[in-house]
Amino acid sequence: MAERSRQEAIREMMAKYLSLYPGVDNSYAEKLYKNDGKWCIYSVVVKMMKSFGYTVSHFQEAFDFYTWLPNHEPSPAEDPTKKTLLHYACLFSRPDLLTVLLCDYGARSDAKDEKGYIPFFEAAKSGNLACLEILYSKGFAYFDRRDVENRTSLMIAAFFNQKEAVKKLLEWGANADSKDSHKATAQDIARTLGHNEVAEVIRLFRREQSERNARATALKRWTSADPLNRRLYEAWQHSPNPHPTPVNNVQFNLAPAHNIEADNIELVRMNRYDVSSQRNYFGNQQGHSDLFLCLAYLGSPLICSRSDCLKALKRYEGTLRAAGLIEVHPLYFLAIIRLTKDDAPLRRTLLYDFVQQYPETLGRTVEKGGWLTVEEEKESLEEIESTKEEEVEPVPETLRDKWNAFATAAKLTTPQREAMDELVNLTGLATVKELAMDLYIEAQENGFKPPTGTDGAPREYNFAFLGNPGTGKTTVARLLAKILEATGLRAGHKVIEMTASDALRKGVQKFSDELAALTGGDNSIGPPANSKLLRKGLNVEVLHGTKWFPGKIARVVKTQKPRPTPPAKPNEPPPTIQYDEVVTYDVIYPDGTEDTGMSQFDDKKKPMLRHVDKGAAAGGVLFLDEAYDLDPAGNTNGRHIMADIMKVAEDCRDRVSIILAGYKDDIENKLYAYNSGMRDRFRAILFEDFDENELLEVWEGLSKAAGWKEADTPGQMSVSRVAARRLAQRASIKGFANA
């Protein structure tokens, strides 16, 4: 009877859900129930999860009746995404269902969908903190797992601009230095997509992490190897992980609330430190005894050898390992601090960290039954005051102030700063100016030399300028070329400007020829397999015997030659004719060389050539406006030009930057939809429409330059203000011409 009522409940639940949709009646639910079609039932439950109209009890009934549901992994034929219910619980922000699926039904937390996403990735993508917290607390936070593009959960959260999720993942221990298939970190991904706040969060975290590592490295001169473990030092800096990583079987769990006092251990200050007992009344060794003995040695006015201190600390560490996964006492770090007594700056910094984490140690020195000596407390308080003074320093309020402060501190020369000076004086463009500041900061960190990744590959600087006409995209492209050269990120500032329509009108070969002015063409040596090497007017050297002769390509002719085809078989259609491209080209030799006149070459007579124009190609920027008009999906020439652009973006990343410009939706629908990899190659920069005040500022600047002066209208709004206000009302409309 109970089984029957459960079946009826399931049937009623599905019928109720399906009835919400026009054209679907209860008969469909009845048919579904009788046939027990797994995919159909699964699909209905997924839609129920999305609707938020059902409580957990509804789903528990379904899971109890259809026991295969919680762990059902649909095939591509059933569901192209291959997501499990756990994925959908994270996607639709259903932490209640997530808990039930994990705890009551043992749903797999590592199941992958068609993109290689596990549920933890799905929660990171949607920025669902509640689901992330649940997965993390249950031990299902897989920080090192990768999707099909080799991205971690942190990279996915950065890709989808989930700032709070990024903060949480970093706090929990996600690796900010991991790289995806394109050698990009999470910070690189955020910058490329224009997610500047997310990129800044990761940048600050990495800087703090670098500082912690530097301190740990500095400790090497003063302590044994065990206190230097980087994980141990990081544990001091962060709240403890509910699932901490054992370090040599020792769990370093150092929450600020951890009791600083030791059980059954008392240190008494008389003429010297004294440990009242290293054993309790039952003769058993106390867990922290050797630590306190080390502290006593270090604080004693008597002469104690450094080796005795380190031996006591070693014995303490050995006691911890022998006991298994237990906590290290916070005073372990005080012992480390005292070992650095000969390095005053490091000692003061570590003392500051210690009292910040354990403020209860202040105000109670050894004489008063505390842990710090009078000198240690004095140094701590001085460091705290010094830090407060640094914190109250005024922060520049405007980007112009920030730029001037940076340029002065970095001692930039006039050529290094003049392009940026011009950019900061332009109206609006806050996002672009922040980008340029980031470039200067990055360049300074690299000594104003082109940065490279860990694999030695040059960094690429390609952008997509998205926005309406008149927002300054072309002007910014010219300035950006100069800024890239001024920062040392590019070797030259030559700019090639054209629209996509211009490129299509010129044709693929002419476009490649113009692009070669930036790239230097093909710098290979050998038979010219690449036709780009054979553009007219190109300076080359031709190998005759064992000598290279200078020459210039005078003429290039390309023809199609049919391949030999076998005779058609009886009762079969004739075979399709295949064609090969045959290239004939002439090389002219200058007078005065041993080989003068002209040589003609073709596909059979291929000389060894080497290109000598690369030095003339100093690098720079290609600015392609209205780039969406290439329409690579529907235009053959546009497809070839797009392929050229992507090849240059990869092969010439050390000297060429490419900027694509156009309307945001058109770029996404015509270019990104055709080649999804472009999102990773081109950092998106949104050019906002000018607001009323910015439009007025632009107009007043133009009027002043032209020598115009508006008539005074006392008591009335100026004509310029009225015009700017009316124009601003059309902002954000596609095609709005701005200034």
What does the pLDDT average to over 86-97?
86
Q: Which residue has the higher pLDDT, 222 or 195?
A: 195
Q: Which neighbouring-strand residues pair with 458? A: 452
Angle, in degrees to the nearest 10, between helices 306-323 and 331-339: 150
Q: Which residue has the higher pLDDT, 651 or 636?
A: 636
What does the pLDDT average to over 25-29?
49
pLDDT above 90: residue 152: yes
Q: Measured between alpha carbons, how far is residue 305 from residues 338, 346, 372 in Å?
A: 13, 21, 21
Classify domain 399-516+618-687 by CATH number. 3.40.50.300
How do 463-467 and 683-687 pair as beta strands? parallel
Largest CA distance in the chain: 114
Q: Which CATH class is domain 2-142?
A: mainly alpha
How many Cβ atoms sit within 10 Å of the Cβ of residue 208?
Answer: 13
Q: Measured between alpha carbons, how far is residue 257 from residues 173, 240, 334 in Å?
A: 21, 11, 17
Domains 2-142 and 522-566+573-612 share a fold: no
What does the pLDDT average to over 451-478?
75
How many Cβ atoms sit within 10 Å of the Cβ of residue 629?
Answer: 18
Name which of 497, 591, 501, 495 is nearest 552 in CA terms: 591
Residue 358 to residue 330: CA distance in whole angstroms: 9
Token pair for 152: 């971690």
3-state secondary structure of 273: strand
Q: Give pLDDT tens digits for 247-285.
A: 333 333 333 333 333 333 333 222 222 233 333 333 334
Name which of 146, 51, 94 is nearest 107 in CA terms: 94
Per-residue pLDDT at 228: 32
Q: Which residue has the higher pLDDT, 257 or 84?
A: 84
pLDDT above 50: residue 22: no
What does the pLDDT average to over 74-101?
82
Contact 320, 286 (CB under 8 A): no
pLDDT above 70: residue 233: no
Name which of 505, 496, 476, 730 is nearest 637 in CA terms: 505
Residue 341 to residue 299: CA distance in whole angstroms: 11
Domain locations in the chain as residue ranges: 2-142, 222-391, 399-516+618-687, 522-566+573-612, 692-728
* Residue 560, CA atoms < 13 Å, CB-side half-sphere: 4
Q: Which neighbouring-strand residues pair with 581? A: 560
User: May I ask the CATH architecture of the domain 522-566+573-612?
Assistant: Roll (2.30)
Per-residue pLDDT at 167: 93
Contact 701, 427 (CB under 8 A): yes
Name which of 48, 92, 90 is nearest 66 in CA terms: 48
The side-by-side arrangement of strands in the sheet containing 494-499 is 494-499, 620-625, 656-662, 463-467, 683-687
What does the pLDDT average to over 314-319?
76
Sequence-distant (6+) residues with CB within 8 A of 270 are: none
Name which of 130, 208, 139 is nearest 168 in CA terms: 130
Amino acid at 263: D
Backbone φ, ψ for residue 91 (5° rounding)? -65, -40
Amino acid at 72: H
Alpha helices in 520-602 (DSSP H): none
Averaged pLDDT of the chain: 71
Residue 623 to residue 286: CA distance in whole angstroms: 72
3-state secondary structure of 656: strand
How do 656-662 and 620-625 pair as beta strands? parallel
What does the pLDDT average to over 390-403?
60
Q: Which neighbouring-strand residues pair with 443? A: none
Q: Measured between alpha carbons, how far is residue 404 from residues 417, 421, 486 in Å?
A: 9, 9, 16
